[in-house]
Structure 1
Amino acid sequence: MTLAQEVKNRLDIVDMISGYVALERSGRNFKAACPFHDEKTPSFFVFPERQTWRCFGACADGGDSLSFIMKVDGIEFPEALNKLANQLGLSVPSNVNRNLDKRIYELNNLAMETFKQNLNSPDGYHAAEYLRNRGVNQASISRFQLGLGSFGRDTLVRHLSSKGYTDQEILNSGLATQGTDGQIRDMFQRRIIFPIHNTNGEIAGFGGRSIDNSNPKYINTPKSQVFDKSSLLYGLYFARTAIAENKQTVIVEGYLDVITAHQYQFQNVVASMGTALTEQQVKTLRNISSDFVLALDPDNAGKEATIRSMESSWQATQIDILRAGRNSRISFQQRHLNVSLKVAELPVGQDPDTLIQSDPEKWQHLIGNARSLLEYLFETIPSRYDVTNDNGRLMLVDSLGPFIRTEANPFTRGKYLRSLSEITNISERDLEKHIWQPIKNSSASIKREISNTNNSAASQSADKRDILEEYCLYLLLNYPDLITEINEIYPDMFEQSENRSIFTNLDSWTTMERLRESMADELVAHLDHIMSMDIPPLDIKDRIKALTDIANRIKARFYTLQEQILLEKLTEADWQSKDIIERNIVEAQVINHELRKIYSGENPEQRETS
């Protein structure tokens, strides 16, 4: 439970708002003259069951206890949360994590300068010679900030300690390890150092290669507050401009592969750092590129890594496949972003580093003529399964089927369907039936849960969460193109202040990283909760239908609440006043019109999905 949820669970909104304005009961709710504008007839209502408030007068605002404090005190979400948490005696998390991040980056910068000095010292002769023998020139050494780990067991630790950093901070950064004897030792001893930057250019961690080829040949910074090997790509900070200009990303395995490629002006190259390309890495890349070429080593390990990369890349880009317009043809290789995943097969015995140095033109040719996704998979995947039995054939079909299904070109699709039919000895008709069968999901159970939430205020009182709003945000965050599809949903329709704050930021976000950076820690925690909701992937039709349904439910809730308050106001209205009667009639007509659109399916979203 986040701090915001705990605050709202502990607070009674009626008691809290009573401290600012005199409330009087109105049926099951409470009302008062709005504290935010002058008025004679009360239009400010508090709803105990929902723990929300709303003004149906001039300001037309509303929300939960946090949004009330934000509005009445003129403060932002973090300040409002801190104020209420302090009033309740709850401990308020400080910016400890962000301060820790800052200290780690500072430590990494100090370490990098020390590593560079080591490489340029007499002790660095053999490391510098190794780099020269590998063809790395001084310009590349400077650009990529290469260095050399210390020769002493704790030389770096003592240096960093002299700068005022504690042993724990040094350990947290991953620059040192602690043995069973309690001694703290340098992590990177007698190794060539490759600083690994995040997309902002900050040094998140380091890679270290042994000079004498002793094992382990490579080590990395352990996973830390700022370093996660699975989500970073070596060289991306230096390659971003070239990737954007070329509209293509070439992915290799190692540090020297990247450095050599950049040195030879192939600057759209990044490295997965010896692992199969992960889903997190692809998600990072697809923000700046739509064309991926895998150029991994040609040995068996490299081929396996290529296949695993293909699979993870496809999973990561699958979300983007589903974002294309509802009336367009959707495919993996041809869609609104023209996403393409290809494989450049290197000559046996050569990795990108050696190939580029020996024959840069051949490298350029291989990248330019990389094989398509399906072509490569059909050559490599079938041998992994025993197609002499039914289970093996089924597994093969399930492996290749999704790739065939998302191929837009009907001739290409037909060609590979025939190939799969020949390999498995299954008729094309049966293959089509299996590959194109509807994807099952739990949308029905989600709808039941939402319906139950609509009808049960009691379920809300236990935990001030709103499944309607959270599911709406889940869809918009996971499928950003849906943001343009959502009609007539406004921030004030979101009753929970965390959800409203996130929804308000959706129009301006470019990446999830930027969205997180723009938010207070407590909002980030709520964002993480939404993103971690256990909801199966939806295809295009189901996704748009789900958004339409959720949007309609949020709008219906908003206007139904207005209708309820209008009825209460009418029972107390002065029917002798023509102005009041006319105003209420106009308001009733507007509400009725909006509700009729929702329930009759007249709104544009429903027309387009019918």
Structure 2
Amino acid sequence: MTQIDDIKSRVDIVELVASYVNLQRSGNSYKANCPFHQERTPSFYVFADRQSWRCFGACAEGGDALSFVMKAERLDFREALHRLGARVGVVIEDRNTSGVGDQLYQINDAARRYFQRLLDEPEGKFVRDYLADRGLNDQTIQMFELGYSPPRDNRLLAHLTEVGHTRELVAQAGLARETDDGRYYDLFRGRLIIPIRDWSGRVAGFGSRALNADAVAKYLNTPRTPVFDKSRILYAMHLAKEPVRQKGVVVVEGYMDAIMAHQHGFDNVVASMGTAVTEQQVALVRRLTTHVTMALDGDPAGRNATLRSLESSWGVFQQRNARASQAGAVSVLQRSEAMEMLVAELPSGQDPDDFIRATPQEWPAFVAGASPLFEYLLASLSARADLNNADDKAWVAQTMLRFVAQVPDAIRRDLYLDELSVRLRVNSETLRSAMRTVGRSPGRRAGGETPPATADAATPAPSRTEDVAEEYCLAMLLQHWDELGPEAAIAVSADWFERSEHREIYRSILRARSGGENGSDGGEMAEILVAPEVESHLNLLRARELMLASTSRLEQAWKQIRLGIEKEFLNKEISQLLTVLQDEADWESPAARQVQAGKERVREINQELAGVT
């Protein structure tokens, strides 16, 4: 889980609020005089079951533990998060701070220009010869901005500091390292340099290949920085967006594989940079296509590692499909078709770079011949086993069941089990019984969901319907502000968002339009600044797919999602008020009138929703 969710899971809101005010038990809730305004009769309630609080008096506000600390201590989101983290013993990583990200992008771009210039100079001739031997032409070298890092004398560091960047920031960008005695040195030395641009086309980091046979590391990437995390980037996606939208995406492992593909006109190819596909990468792809083909090296020695990578990637796809299914019950925003992962394996000993250089005319047929992952794995594993041998057959079955157990849809799970039963000649009920054991095995979550491959993939699936609706509302504001207009955001209230993270993002969107929380001047969208701990979630919302075919579809979807979250908010508030009224037996109170007003508004919303086609 994310650090925010980790902190929330450790906080007992009743205990938290009780450290500020004297709470009294009131049925299933707790009450007190509101700490935020003067009153004689308690109107402030804490609901342990939902880990939330609400003032039904003059404040008319509520929220979760984070929003309570923000209001009680007059802190911003990040300060409150750190305060809560300290309370429950969670140390929050010191991530990017405002303004630093822009500086790191500037440093990376300055380094990119420096590396490119050196490649064109006489000392870079042997690198140009190496690239020519690899089959790359000048146009491709320029398109992918390839460069050369000098082998000694810390020349990049000297250049960057000479043009005004501090050594500390150069190190924070991952281009230099600091020794124990406080000296700095270039990270990339004597290497072919491959700039890595993110979804927005900014130089976020670098990949590199050693040109000296004695180098300790053949390949070396920028380490994780505030702006570079390879689990969140697909190499060459900034060039491939439109081709991917039209033709689907082909995912290869290495930089050179993607570069060679583009040189031969296969411009829908991107690289995962040697890692299993992560949730963040799938979120980017899902915005463009549901058709994903993994092009695997024909490497028999690496098959076990490939199997682990495919299992992790499959798990991410299943989590994404589970989210899409959950969202489909709420709004019209999600396309009905699931993402399917196809696999194409190259001949033994070849990678895409080799294959395309040798036989580029065969690449389209190779991709078109890809098989669904389940079929590919079953065929591949069966070819490696003797299915007349009980131990081999059990190994194939157990391996396949690990994949089937991750499928969220019960019908699709049954179809896979039936196919497995026929192919392995094993009773289907035996397989179902064995899968229940697989689902309970260590390292696997209840319901067959696979833990993320990396900590960076650990953004949890929303656990409640309203979380999904809130995310779609924010995603629409982020991606379609110009079409919706400033009135759209003003028509939404921050109170409607249950999660403090979502309130933080919503308020930041409004601030970015320079109109504050009460309006907008309709100007150009400024940079959306949020707490660093929320940036990954903000990026996921920016990348969330909202397949809307027309302006009218957008307007319908927006109306449905806006009314939906208002209705959810009102229903929750009515439920809380009814709990309070049952405990207090005061049906003539302002709370009772709020219930009636809330019910009337819900009826109006239902009528409006009925008119949305």
Deviations 1:245-264 (A, max 9, x none): 21x21111221211111111
The alignment-based identity, stated in percent, is 28
Q: Structure 1 283/306 Cα, relative in aligned 2: closer, same or farther at 3 Å?
A: farther
Aligned to 2:422: 418
C-alpha distance in 1 between matches for 2:213 and 2:205: 21
Aligned positions of 1:197-276 closer than 5 A: 197-215=197-215, 216-246=217-247, 248-276=248-276
Aligned to 1:560: 578
Measure how far apart 1:158 and its partner are: 1.1
Q: Give 1:318's aligned amino acid.
A: Q
CA contact (8 A) 1:243 1:288 kept: yes
Q: Structure 1 480/245 Cα, relative in aligned 2: closer, same or farther at 3 Å?
A: farther
CA contact (8 A) 2:116 2:147 kept: yes
Q: Structure 1 195/301 Cα, relative in aligned 2: closer, same or farther at 3 Å?
A: farther
Measure how far apart 1:354 and its partner are: 2.8
TM-score, normalised via structure 1 length: 0.64
Measure how far apart 1:324 and its partner are: 5.3
Which piece of structure 1 moves more, 304-313 or 46-55? 46-55
Q: Does 1:524 align with 2:534?
A: yes
C-alpha distance in 1 between matches for 2:460 and 2:131: 53
Aligned positions of 1:3-14 closer than 5 A: none
Aligned to 2:503: 501
C-alpha distance in 2 between matches for 1:138 and 1:288: 30
C-alpha distance in 1 between matches for 2:460 and 2:316: 21
CA contact (8 A) 2:149 2:190 kept: yes
Q: Structure 1 212/386 Cα, relative in aligned 2: closer, same or farther at 3 Å?
A: same
C-alpha distance in 2 between matches for 1:526 and 1:253: 24
C-alpha distance in 2 between matches for 1:404 and 1:10: 44
CA contact (8 A) 2:295 2:345 kept: yes
C-alpha distance in 2 between matches for 1:32 and 1:279: 41
Q: Structure 1 392/174 Cα, relative in aligned 2: closer, same or farther at 3 Å?
A: same
- Report the secondary structure of 1:381's partner residue: helix
5+ residue gaps, structure 2, are 23-29, 85-91, 329-334, 448-458, 474-491, 511-526, 542-564, 607-613
Which piece of structure 1 moves more, 132-141 or 264-273? 132-141
Deviations 1:134-193 (A, max 9, x none): 221222112111111124321111111212323222222221234567543222222111
CA contact (8 A) 1:32 1:43 kept: no
5+ residue gaps, structure 1, are 16-26, 36-40, 86-91, 329-334, 445-469, 509-516, 532-546, 574-582, 598-602, 604-610
Aligned to 1:127: 127
Measure how far apart 1:568 and its partner are: 4.7
CA contact (8 A) 2:210 2:218 kept: yes
Deviations 1:477-523 (A, max 9, x none): 98679979xxxx996477x7726716968999xxxxxxxx9563177
C-alpha distance in 2 between matches for 1:478 and 1:586: 28
CA contact (8 A) 1:258 1:271 kept: yes
CA contact (8 A) 1:292 1:341 kept: yes
C-alpha distance in 2 between matches for 1:565 and 1:191: 72
Which piece of structure 1 moves more, 393-402 or 234-243? 393-402
C-alpha distance in 2 between matches for 1:121 and 1:320: 47
Measure how far apart 1:299 and its partner are: 1.9
CA contact (8 A) 1:275 1:305 kept: no
CA contact (8 A) 2:505 2:530 kept: no
TM-score, normalised via structure 2 length: 0.63
Deviations 1:2-40 (A, max 9, x none): 89999995998779xxxxxxxxxxx964489999xxxxx
Aligned to 1:139: 139
- Aligned CA RMSD, in angstroms, stands at 5.5
Name the count of aligned residue pairs: 493
- Rg larger in 1 or in 2? 1
Deviations 1:186-237 (A, max 9, x none): 2222211100112121212111122354433222222323223333322122
Aligned positions of 1:175-190 closer than 5 A: 175-179=175-179, 183-190=183-190
Deviations 1:406-437 (A, max 9, x none): 5849887644321123xxxx423422444478
C-alpha distance in 2 between matches for 1:506 and 1:155: 40
Q: Give 2:503's aligned amino acid.
A: S
Deviations 1:323-367 (A, max 9, x none): 455899xxxxxx933422222222334321232233222011100
CA contact (8 A) 1:53 1:62 kept: yes
Aligned to 2:561: none
C-alpha distance in 2 between matches for 1:233 and 1:313: 14
